[in-house]
Amino acid sequence: MKVKRDQEFLDKVEELSGQSVNACIRCGTCSAGCPFVKDMDVLPERIFKKIVLGDKEGILEKNTMWICAACFTCSVRCPRDIDIAKIMEAVRQIVLREDIDMVDLDHIENLEELPQLAVVGCFRKETA
Ligand code: SF4
Ligand code: SF4
């Protein structure tokens, strides 16, 4: 399937993150060390490929940036000094700026029993 290239999306990711996505050499170190890959639709390194291709739609349908816990493991290990966590945050910001909330309160069980810090952190990360 031919991907519709969205240069504006690529430029926005780089502007918000302050990182050069094209510097990635696809070594896979970020994916290899990420503690949350088992819950991700696609590996962090694959997200880079999609960003370079300007495949905005292909990225937004994945859960990778929402599962990312911004733990910075990948950022400190990247041989090209790319701060991947900042790129994940940039992609999240692009979605949230479109006024799309990623938290569905109706499907959170035992909300009142969850740690307050976790709830606040979730809202800061995933709501517009
Ligand atoms: S570790 Fe860095 S260079 Fe390697 S695939 Fe990940 S982002 Fe690209
Ligand atoms: S910052 Fe995100 S992508 Fe990177 S290792 Fe941590 S959870 Fe994985």
The reported pLDDT for the residue numbered 115 is 83
CATH class of 7-97: mainly alpha
| Cα-to-centroid distance, 109 and ligand 1 (Å) | 36
The reported pLDDT for the residue numbered 28 is 94
**Domain locations in the chain as residue ranges:** 7-97
Nearest CA to 13 out of 41, 71, 55 is that of 55
Token reading at 41? 């639709």
The reported pLDDT for the residue numbered 80 is 95
| Cα-to-centroid distance, 121 and ligand 1 (Å) | 27
Hey, what amino acid is at 68?
C
Nearest CA to 87 out of 16, 30, 7 is that of 16
The reported pLDDT for the residue numbered 78 is 96
The reported pLDDT for the residue numbered 2 is 66
| Cα-to-centroid distance, 101 and ligand 2 (Å) | 21
- In the structure, which protein residues have their CB atom closer than 6 angstroms to any atom of ligand 1? 24-30, 45, 48, 78-80, 82, 84
DSSP letter at 62 equals S
The reported pLDDT for the residue numbered 124 is 77
The reported pLDDT for the residue numbered 3 is 65
Which residue of 14, 30, 72 sits with most ligand 1 atoms within 8 Å of its CB, as the best mutation to test the pocket? 30
User: Token pair 């519709």 is at which residue?
Assistant: 4
Cβ pair 62, 39 in contact under 8 A: no
Residue 89: HSE in the Cβ half-sphere, 13 Å Cα cutoff: 16
Residue 21: HSE in the Cβ half-sphere, 13 Å Cα cutoff: 26
- Which residue, judged by its Cα, is nearest atom 7 of ligand 2? 68
